[in-house]
Structure 1
Amino acid sequence: MIRLSVNINKIATLRNARGGNTPDVVEAAKRLESFGAQGITVHPRPDERHIRYADVRDLTQVVTTEFNIEGNPNQKFIDLVLEAKPAQVTLVPDAEDVLTSNAGWDTLKHKDFLTEVISKFKTHGIRTSIFVDPQVKMIQGAAEVGADRIELYTESYAQGYSEDKIKAIQPYIICAEEARQLGLGINAGHDLSLDNIEFFAQKIPFLDEVSIGHALISEALYDGLEPVVKSYLKKLS
């Protein structure tokens, strides 16, 4: 079964909009796990505009499923990950001023840097995934720098799904097959939703994990967290 990791950044965004601790991201993570989520993802950014570094430390104490910390590996981020020792770290090359992640790594251009960073995490037993665009050469580069997994950046799939889902999925099938041949695990995330997740999972059934945040939390505003999590699990099974 493809694992569902829920990104709880948007819960932190709502909390930060008002101040205080409502909604409580720790309580949300615990409830998501109780509803069947098989992982919790956070993406702390340097300005802490949603998930704060303190949240990561708090969540480390309570998450019982897979904990995935994603972000741009500056020194502060690296230190946080080595302190928290999550099951997985996902490297994302987002600039500080972007609203949300908008590109994958150029694993060829940044080969030396990624090799060095991944080596640090692997020394501490942390599985490492690299956020990449659906391009075969970037998948091959991820294998060369020593990554354990890739996370396919699925925005273009989500944008093309309603117009021509067969065309939209093709680059991902090709890249996923390449990753499998190279011995890389395969994750996926960004703009996946209840509308498009089932087709993606059917066409790439050997996915290890999807990370879903914005859509899932938005859908839960209408239907509730528990029913939405269970709907995702059903579509992924």
Structure 2
Amino acid sequence: MSLLDTFLNWGVFRDALPLLLTGLWVTLGLGAAAVALGLAGGLPLVLLRLYGGRVARLVAIAYIDVFRAIPVLVLLIVIYYALPFLGLRLSPFTSATAALSLVSAAYSAEILRAGIEAVPSGQVEAARALGMPPPLWMRRIVLPQAVRLVVPPLTSNAINVFKDTALASVVAMPDLLKQATQAQALAANPTPLIGAAVIYIALLLPCVRFVGLYEGRLRRRAR
């Protein structure tokens, strides 16, 4: 059997395509949920770390450090296989979303912290001098500028989250990789895995290019 017949068999790919597309929708839903929840969790974390009391800062720092250090796969296995012993049984989708979101929130918090600290402190001091309460100057002055600065790293974090969705296959989640693996087993041919790789590239490559273009635009504005 030739290289093309083994890895790029059009007939096998055509037969596996319905399974791959089904897995793609699951991957998109899982990735979107994890990115959104991670960003929603990262914002209060960074606010606690920067502006909270001493105990709140220590808790936020501990959370960020621990969840940046733990591998997503280990966390996913703990959530899916260990929590049932404590009486909490989660579905594969919920377990994968929780694991990815918890880790994503830690990274999002650090990215947002870098953006907030990059805003000139004089602007905040001026807002305070005018009597603006902290929620107001945070919403109108700091966050709009910080968000523009952190778009590239947040996009890179989102790309990593979507790639990490492939780990959900270990808990029988019917994502793109799981469906490709099943199609490979049915056809006794690795072409479905190559097809899944092509789909991942087609999905994430525009995001990678967007990060590069946006960073170039920021550098030109800085000059």
Query: Common fold, TM-score beyond 0.5?
Result: no
Alignment TM-score, normalising by the size of structure 2: 0.25
Higher relative contact order (CA 8 A, sep 6+): 2
Q: How high is the TM-score relative to the length of structure 1?
A: 0.24
Q: Which has the larger radius of gyration?
A: 2
Structure with greater strand percent: 1
Q: Per residue, is there more helix in 1 or in 2?
A: 2
